[in-house]
Chains A and B, each alone.
Chain A
Amino acid sequence: DTGVSQDPRHKITKRGQNVTFRCDPISEHNRLYWYRQTLGQGPEFLTYFQNEAQLEKSRLLSDRFSAERPKGSFSTLEIQRTEQGDSAMYLCASSLTRGSGEQYFGPGTRLTVT
């Protein structure tokens, strides 16, 4: 296990299309977070899971966004009917509930909506 992985690393899509991103956390980590980062800004929280339960969603997460973590392992983030404003870097992070709670980040998926 070499850390948090995300797939794909880059995605170019046309406005109105649906896209799905995948995140594989560090294997023993029970918490998984999604963040979005736009140009010139720091990452912004979108949602998080503890095991398979989605415990919090940001107001940034419109109805077009949905996230799942079906077996408490990998997670997917789907964006339906993409808009140009969805263009951003989507970051995934994982952590343990106990201990320092340090979040380990993946490399991100860069989405460009044309």
Chain B
Amino acid sequence: AQRVTQPEKLLSVFKGAPVELKCNYSYSGSPELFWYVQYSRQRLQLLLRHISRESIKGFTADLNKGETSFHLKKPFAQEEDSAMYYCALVIQGAQKLVFGQGTRLTINP
């Protein structure tokens, strides 16, 4: 069965500190993973996808098939990074998303 696990519901770090949001997945097919972000009072939006291997707002995420992980990282957190972050797996065919339960990231000044 396909599943996405985000073990931390809450994560709090100080401004300027490194951030790592954990994501593990279970999927029998070839995985395609995303990170979505929801800022306060805004809609859910795509942050980055693993196939593009890009850095968005200083965030990167590397797919590790051996560890079935797709952790989100940023070397220096900024206050505007405070938001809800969801890791999501795309199910091939329908392209429907399976989301983790989310991690609320708070950056303290």
Partner-B contacts on A (CB < 8 A): 3-4, 31, 33, 35, 40-45, 48, 55-56, 91, 95, 100-108
Contact = CB atoms under 8 A, between A and B. Distances in A.
B35 to A, nearest CB: 12
Contact of A106 (B43, B86, B88, B94): B43
B44 interface: yes
Interface of B: 4, 6, 9, 43-46, 49, 52, 86, 88, 90, 94-102
B61 to A, nearest CB: 15
Closest 10 CB pairs of A and B: A42-B99, A105-B44, A45-B96, A101-B95, A107-B43, A43-B99, A42-B101, A105-B43, A42-B86, A42-B102
Contact of A41 (B43, B46, B101): B101
Interface centre among B4, B88, B94, B101 (most CB of A within 10 A): B94
